[in-house]
Structure 1
Amino acid sequence: MPPTLRAVLVNDTAAKGHHGCTLVNRQLAQLAGEAGIEISRTMPLTAAWDALTETGPDMLLVNGEGTLHHDTKGSRAIAGIGRAATRTGHPAFLINSICQALPPAVGEALKGFRGVWARDRQSQRSFTEFGIEAGYAPDLTLTYEAPSRSRTADLLFITDSSMSGETNALFRLSTETPGSRFLPLRSHPPRDRGITDRDTLRYRMKRAIARAHPDPVYRARYRNIVEDFEDLIALLQEQAGFLLAGRFHAVCIALDLGIPFFAIPTNSWKVEALLEEIGLSHRMLPSAEAFAQRAASLPPSRIAPFSQEEHAAIGRFKTMARRENGLMFQTIAASVRRPR
């Protein structure tokens, strides 16, 4: 059996506390481990990564997620890693990534990665604009298999959004809709980092401020948090009859749990691209207001239940996601082990 490879994971998006990113990291570590890759260290995207080549990891894995779009600080940071990989020759792989409307200089720098994998077909096509033949593996959250639980309630859960205006509209809708609950996807930062961790201290400070904050949306964003991932999954499985998703990973979790949903746009094409690939584009709404008109006064479980065809399409897509992500990590491991 070949020796285990050590990888540093860059762009550890779970560090600040977010359930979707927590699930990404869990599935990434599990599937990488099955391919003989151990995540020996994680780092935020803003870290100075050049020093990592001195510590001897076999590779860098850069978790693209929804970062690589337009001329953003995150896009430029990922481009910087690509340039550094070109300069040092250190194996670096960009995985689980969107690619949308990048400036030419950013796109060109991505050629420094030894391998690139897009998480949607639109992004895969976008990479080709820069001469990059990217692989394809759907978002890592879609490889998750949740434990089975019985539903005991029929509530409508309405999540927050990455955009403040949409979060305000979603919160307002939750206050106007009987039988609904506003559910931010924020979480407690990783507990294994201790109570003195900077992100944990910042999180606790915001939770404390929220108790008396004059803005009801701010209060709800921090006081309505379900702190731990397992508790979030149990809550949704046991009580959710329907989900209105303002975030990409809210859609992914609904797909994992088999919870019917509608989604509204975010800050990139990520939700639309995912639903198009599964065949669920009809579950995309233009706004929270459109949901209010659509749902009327129906009980949550009767708003828009999944059809048999939808259940089958979701099952096929999740099976494919597991297969393609497994192949991705096997390909990465083989590339690092193979002499160049």
Structure 2
Amino acid sequence: MTRAVLLNDTSARYHHGCSRVSRLLKAGLAARGVEITASALAHTDWTRTPGFLSALEAAELVVINGEGTLHGGAEKGQLLLNVVDHPAARGKPVAVVNTIWQNNPPDWADILRRCALVSARDSASHANLLAAGVEQAVHVPDLSLSERVEPPTGGRKGLVVGDSVRHSVRTHLARYAQRQHATFVPSKTLTSTLWSRWPARHLLWRVYNGVFSGKVPDFMMARDEAAYLEILSGAMGHVTGRFHGVCYSILAELPFLAVGSVTSKVQVLVADAGLNPDRVIPVEALADLPLPPPFDETELGNLRRYKEDAQDKAQDLFDRIARLA
């Protein structure tokens, strides 16, 4: 087995997109004889994670899950990249995978040019990396798409409304769910049984979304990624403000409309998948929004090719990472 460490492990984020990415990344590497001997969880300081530095010293490979972190020159992104020059990582190949790359300082590109492998999760990030001189960069769609999902064969019914990382957008989405009598299903979850009980559950919905008037709609928190995918697979439409909400819609072949996020990642994902750009809407459109339109034949064909491409490229990526050591 090849010993590796993983930075920005998103498995403990209670976010169905993040947990799916982490699971599939680890499984893809394990199937090729790469053992993750230590992980530094997302939003933690890896230099202070118990046992991580000793595992880094003993590792043969360093893997950084870039995910939604490497944009805007954010401090947490700099912390991830600092591992490249750490004495314990000296001489070891570093793979940066599943990363966004947008509006970052030039010295970050200098660091990435010294990495053995860099994989961008969208075409715009890939183009930005190449323009910054990171010539080894490749494009592999988000790893949440790397495992095949069989589209549902039964009937679909009902509208699911998701959440957003931005509180103001969550509020608009929640009010839209009220007007449409939709089921509100965030892409995050809380595991305590407290939140399954009324009135705690209703209070959580109101505080989380900032909506303190009107009826609380049907509110579900999927217990895990499989349950989240099952809910979406049974719906006839999805309106979301989350990047991974769109990824799950693509997996389930569920017609969707999406409010843009804090970066251009949703717009680029929709374009990369060959879908109608009108599926990305401004938040103001939620005031008078119809149900998501069905995919036309062109969209559905593009979507299916995109999923197949994502799966093939992910397998090749895992092979390449395993060969680094």
TM-score of the alignment, normalized to the shorter chain, above 0.5: yes
Aligned to 2:16: 19
Q: Say if 1:85 and 1:92, in contact at 8 Å, map to a contact too.
A: no
Instruction: Tell me how far apart the structure 1 counterparts of residues 93 and 127 of structure 2 sit (CA, whole Å).
Output: 24
Counterpart of 1:154 (choices 143, 153, 157) is 157
Distance 1:87 1:256, change over 3 A: closer
Write the deviation string for residues 279-313 of structure 1: whole angstroms up to 9, x where unpaired: 21424333243144340xxxx5xx41011211111
Q: Say if 1:141 and 1:252, in contact at 8 Å, map to a contact too.
A: yes
Instruction: Tell me how far apart the structure 2 counterparts of residues 148 and 122 of structure 1 sit (CA, whole Å).
Output: 28
What TM-score do you get using the length of structure 1 for normalisation? 0.82
Q: 1:74, CA displacement in angstroms?
A: 2.0
Instruction: Tell me how far apart the structure 1 counterparts of residues 96 and 132 of structure 2 sit (CA, whole Å).
Output: 15
Q: 1:215, CA displacement in angstroms?
A: 7.4
Instruction: Tell me how far apart the structure 2 counterparts of residues 35 and 115 of structure 1 sit (CA, whole Å).
Output: 17
When the two structures are aligned, how many residues end up with a matched partner? 310
Instruction: Tell me how far apart the structure 2 counterparts of residues 108 and 265 of structure 1 sit (CA, whole Å).
Output: 30
Aligned to 1:71: 73
Aligned 1:96-107 pairs, distance under 5 A: 96-107=98-109
Q: Say if 1:118 and 1:138, in contact at 8 Å, map to a contact too.
A: yes
SS of the aligned residue for 2:86 comes to helix
Moved more, 314-323 or 151-160: 151-160
SS of the aligned residue for 1:20 comes to helix
Q: Say if 1:50 and 1:84, in contact at 8 Å, map to a contact too.
A: no
Counterpart of 1:227 (choices 220, 223, 229) is 223
Aligned to 1:198: none
Q: 1:83, CA displacement in angstroms?
A: 2.8
Instruction: Tell me how far apart the structure 1 counterparts of residues 87 and 220 of structure 2 sit (CA, whole Å).
Output: 42
Q: 1:171, CA displacement in angstroms?
A: 0.9
Distance 1:211 1:261, change over 3 A: closer
Gaps of 5+ in 1: 190-202
SS of the aligned residue for 1:216 comes to helix
Q: 1:112, CA displacement in angstroms?
A: 3.6
2:236 matches 1:241: yes
2:167 matches 1:164: yes
2:28 matches 1:44: no
Counterpart of 2:279 (choices 273, 276, 284) is 284
For 1:66, the aligned partner's letter is: G
Aligned 1:137-152 pairs, distance under 5 A: 137-147=140-150, 149-152=152-155
2:190 matches 1:218: no
Instruction: Tell me how far apart the structure 2 counterparts of residues 153 and 325 of structure 1 sit (CA, whole Å).
Output: 30
Q: 1:113, CA displacement in angstroms?
A: 2.1
Q: Say if 2:17 and 2:244, in contact at 8 Å, map to a contact too.
A: yes
Gaps of 5+ in 2: 210-215
Instruction: Tell me how far apart the structure 2 counterparts of residues 254 and 212 of structure 1 sit (CA, whole Å).
Output: 26
Percent identity over the alignment is 28
Q: 1:88, CA displacement in angstroms?
A: 1.5
Q: Say if 1:12 and 1:63, in contact at 8 Å, map to a contact too.
A: yes
Q: Say if 1:71 and 1:103, in contact at 8 Å, map to a contact too.
A: yes
Write the deviation string for residues 238-281 of structure 1: whole angstroms up to 9, x where unpaired: 2x100012100000000001101111110111111111122214
For 1:13, the aligned partner's letter is: T
Write the deviation string for residues 170-206 of structure 1: whole angstroms up to 9, x where unpaired: 111111213x1111111357xxxxxxxxxxxxx6788
Q: 1:151, CA displacement in angstroms?
A: 4.1
Instruction: Tell me how far apart the structure 2 counterparts of residues 321 and 112 of structure 1 sit (CA, whole Å).
Output: 26
Counterpart of 1:329 (choices 303, 306, 318) is 318
Counterpart of 1:313 (choices 302, 307, 312) is 302
Q: Say if 1:187 and 1:229, in contact at 8 Å, map to a contact too.
A: no
Q: Say if 2:163 and 2:242, in contact at 8 Å, map to a contact too.
A: yes
Aligned to 2:176: 173
Distance 1:114 1:326, change over 3 A: same
